[in-house]
């Protein structure tokens, strides 16, 4: 094992590999920070560029990009409320309110250190777990995948502060959208209305860009003023405090990293779920849950730690079984295949140097990208002082062109704009947008694993009650649904006992 680690490290310690790693890190920060590009698009765009490179050089670039994207995404999530990639959407919930309160430096400092620590924990876990990963993934069958995805969806919907029902409505609407397109299990198309573009379903990147970036830009445009709601309220004097906040909230970092590591190792669930599970867990464990969504620093630390930890552990199923943990990993799988590496148990024997080199590159990128992100905080923080009328046109144009660039389809631009308008409507009418995206991400997987589960149970859904992990997940699901009403009930009873009239806002 030690020999393999060292061979990976020595394989990386060459001028060319280090330069490519650094370039990948810079590009990762760049792709992560620009709403609409993100990790999947960034990696997909760079995939052809690695052709002709030595495999370890290509993997160094991929590691550099993957390690830096979360940090880049957190910068735009905190400053602009427009996550560069889907997982960073969780960072918006408290990061953006902090930026509006003039604490952008604090939030970005905390995000940077949480990113590094989460990434380091993730890669350490990857190094430890990779050789024994077979048992971990094989413990999950379709019923477990189905329940885990439903649990993630319900938790996201219910974690919307004080709007559980509207969160569930948004999740249901997202599931309806996820049913659009080709029916992979049974053949044929559904809800496409004869539009060929919809055969592949509602595409995630345009939907994501529209619902977050474009909707937020429309909202800024309508409301006017600057991204920061009060003049001169963006200060970055507390960056060191932000770094220290992560250490002060070490249980949050640890929990987020563990959640990210576990969720990342399960294919199909992805970083968005990891980030929101970590966020939800932090809210539910907090003594002050009402402060979340209004600028609680733990709400930034929790998802950031999970996102980077997830990035490392999602390599486990990708490398060991050839099952990509998410869209980004699917693109990464393409890089492996392009360079003649066949994912599966043999990859650790045949391509030991390359794989451990990749892990080192990922580790280095996590730390370097956080430092790079911190160096860029000052100029980027100033973005929030720009008048929205100046900020909106460029961001709107880059978001639309970014969504076009995914597969060079002009229909993507139309879909992005449509989702932008939908997102703006949801902002105006007080519906959370995040459950829509989570449903879109998980919808196809939920349907597939449901049908597989039913087939496994010979047409009987009782199979979900016959497996120990399923029972555990069902327990978590019930807790997630009942948590908010139960808390409201206890609060009401407490107020009645105290002789105070009940408050409506929980």
Partner 1 sequence: MSGTSAPHGVPSGPGGYALPLVLLALAIGFIVMAQRFGAASRAMPQLVGGTMVIFCLLDALSRTNTELGRRLSRWVNPAVSAVSVAPPRHRQRVALAGLTALVVAMILVGVLPAVAAFGLLALRYRAGRSWLMGATLGGAVALAIWLLFGLLLALPLFPGLLFGGVW
Which residues of the chain form contacts with partner 1 (CB under 8 A)? 45, 161-166, 168-169, 172-173, 175-176, 179, 183, 185-186, 188, 190-191, 214, 218, 221-224, 387, 389-390, 392-394, 396-398, 400-401, 404-405, 408, 410, 413-414, 417, 420-421, 424, 428-431, 446-447, 450-451, 484-485, 488-489, 492, 502, 504-506
Distance in angstroms (rounded) separating the CA atoms of residues 33 and 423: 20
Q: Write down the least CB distance from residue 169 to partner 1, Å.
A: 5
Backbone φ/ψ region at 52: left (φ over 0), alpha (ψ -120 to 50), beta: left
Closer to partner 1 by Cβ: residue 1 or 495: 495
Q: Write down the least CB distance from residue 66 to partner 1, Å.
A: 18
Report which secondary-structure segment, H or E, holds 493: helix 468-497
Q: 193 is written with which tokens? A: 């209305």
Closer to partner 1 by Cβ: residue 137 or 398: 398
Closer to partner 1 by Cβ: residue 378 or 503: 503
Report which secondary-structure segment, H or E, holds 181: strand 181-182
**Which residues are within 8 A (CB) of 209 and not within 5 positions of it... i.e. 6 or more apart?**
35, 36, 399, 400, 402, 403, 416, 419
Q: Cβ distance 311 to 122 under 8 Å? A: yes
Q: Write down the least CB distance from residue 155 to partner 1, Å.
A: 15
Q: Write down the least CB distance from residue 311 to partner 1, Å.
A: 23
Q: Cβ distance 306 to 342 under 8 Å? A: no
Q: Write down the least CB distance from residue 173 to partner 1, Å.
A: 7
Closer to partner 1 by Cβ: residue 345 or 485: 485
Helix residue spans in 130-214 (DSSP H): 133-138, 142-158, 164-178, 204-208
Closer to partner 1 by Cβ: residue 5 or 182: 182
Closer to partner 1 by Cβ: residue 171 or 366: 171
Q: Write down the least CB distance from residue 321 to partner 1, Å.
A: 26
Closer to partner 1 by Cβ: residue 95 or 206: 206
Place of tokens 């920061």: 228
Quick one: 498 exposed, middle or buried, by C-beta within 10 A (0-12, 13-18, 19+)?
exposed
The CA angle 264-267-271, to the nearest 5 degrees, is: 40
Q: Write down the least CB distance from residue 458 to partner 1, Å.
A: 15
Q: Cβ distance 279 to 230 under 8 Å? A: no
Closer to partner 1 by Cβ: residue 304 or 447: 447
Q: Write down the least CB distance from residue 242 to partner 1, Å.
A: 28
Q: Write down the least CB distance from residue 439 to partner 1, Å.
A: 9
Please tell me what DSSP assigns to residue 192. Answer: -
Q: Cβ distance 328 to 40 under 8 Å? A: yes
Whose CA is closest to 86, among 289, 306, 245, 282? 306
Q: Write down the least CB distance from residue 275 to partner 1, Å.
A: 22
Closer to partner 1 by Cβ: residue 169 or 476: 169
Closer to partner 1 by Cβ: residue 103 or 163: 163
**Residue 189: helix, strand or coil by DSSP?**
strand
φ, ψ for residue 181, nearest 5 deg: 115, -160
Q: 88 is written with which tokens? A: 């960073």
Q: Cβ distance 336 to 324 under 8 Å? A: no
Q: Write down the least CB distance from residue 170 to partner 1, Å.
A: 9
Q: Write down the least CB distance from residue 114 to partner 1, Å.
A: 27
Place of tokens 């659009």: 180
Q: 251 is written with which tokens? A: 């249980």
Q: Cβ distance 32 to 84 under 8 Å? A: yes
Closer to partner 1 by Cβ: residue 126 or 178: 178
Closer to partner 1 by Cβ: residue 150 or 263: 150
Helix residue spans in 34-88 (DSSP H): 38-46, 55-80
């Amino acid at each position: 094992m030690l020999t393999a680690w060292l061979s990976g490290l020595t394989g990386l310690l060459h001028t060319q590999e280090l330069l490519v790693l650094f370039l990948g890190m810079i590009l990762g920060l760049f792709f992560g920070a620009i709403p609409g590009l993100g990790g999947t698009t960034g990696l997909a765009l760079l995939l052809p560029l690695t052709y002709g490179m030595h495999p370890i050089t290509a993997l160094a670039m991929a590691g550099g990009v993957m390690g830096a994207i979360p940090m880049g995404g957190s910068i735009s999530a905190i400053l602009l409320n427009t996550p560069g990639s889907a997982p960073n959407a969780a960072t918006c919930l408290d990061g953006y309110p902090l930026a509006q309160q003039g604490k952008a430096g604090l939030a970005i400092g905390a995000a940077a250190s949480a990113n590094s620590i989460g990434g380091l924990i993730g890669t350490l876990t990857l190094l430890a777990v990779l050789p024994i990963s077979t048992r971990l993934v094989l413990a999950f069958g379709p019923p477990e995948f189905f329940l885990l995805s439903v649990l993630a969806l319900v938790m996201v919907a219910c974690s919307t502060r004080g709007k559980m029902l509207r969160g569930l409505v948004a999740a249901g609407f997202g599931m309806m959208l996820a049913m659009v397109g080709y029916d992979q299990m049974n053949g044929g198309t559904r809800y496409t209305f004869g539009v060929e573009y919809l055969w592949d379903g509602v595409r995630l990147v345009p939907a994501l860009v529209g619902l977050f970036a474009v909707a937020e830009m429309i909202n800024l445009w309508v409301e006017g003023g600057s991204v920061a709601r009060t003049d001169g309220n963006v200060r970055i004097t507390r960056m060191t405090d932000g770094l220290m906040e992560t250490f002060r909230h070490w249980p949050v970092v640890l929990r987020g990293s563990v959640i990210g590591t576990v969720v990342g190792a399960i294919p199909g669930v992805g970083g968005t779920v990891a980030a929101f599970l970590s966020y939800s867990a932090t809210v539910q464990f907090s003594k002050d849950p009402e402060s979340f969504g209004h600028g609680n620093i733990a709400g930034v630390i929790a998802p950031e730690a999970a996102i980077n930890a997830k990035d490392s552990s999602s390599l486990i199923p990708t490398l060991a079984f050839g099952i990509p943990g998410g869209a980004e990993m699917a693109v990464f799988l393409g890089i492996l295949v392009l360079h003649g590496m066949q994912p599966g148990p043999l990859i650790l024997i045949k391509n030991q140097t390359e794989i451990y080199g990749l892990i080192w590159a990922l580790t280095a990128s996590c730390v370097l990208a956080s430092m790079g992100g911190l160096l860029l905080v000052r100029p980027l923080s100033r973005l929030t002082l720009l008048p929205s009328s100046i900020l909106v046109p460029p961001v709107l144009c880059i978001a639309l062109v970014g969504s076009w660039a995914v597969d060079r389809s002009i229909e993507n631009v139309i879909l992005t704009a449509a989702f932008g308008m939908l997102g703006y409507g949801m902002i105006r009418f007080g519906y959370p947008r995040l459950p829509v995206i989570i449903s879109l991400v998980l919808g196809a997987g939920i349907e597939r694993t449901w049908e597989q589960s039913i087939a496994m149970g010979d047409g009987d859904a009782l199979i979900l009650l016959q497996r120990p992990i399923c029972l555990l997940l069902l327990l978590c699901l019930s807790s997630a649904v009942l948590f908010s009403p139960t808390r409201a009930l206890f609060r009401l009873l407490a107020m009645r006992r105290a002789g105070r009239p009940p408050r409506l806002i929980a």
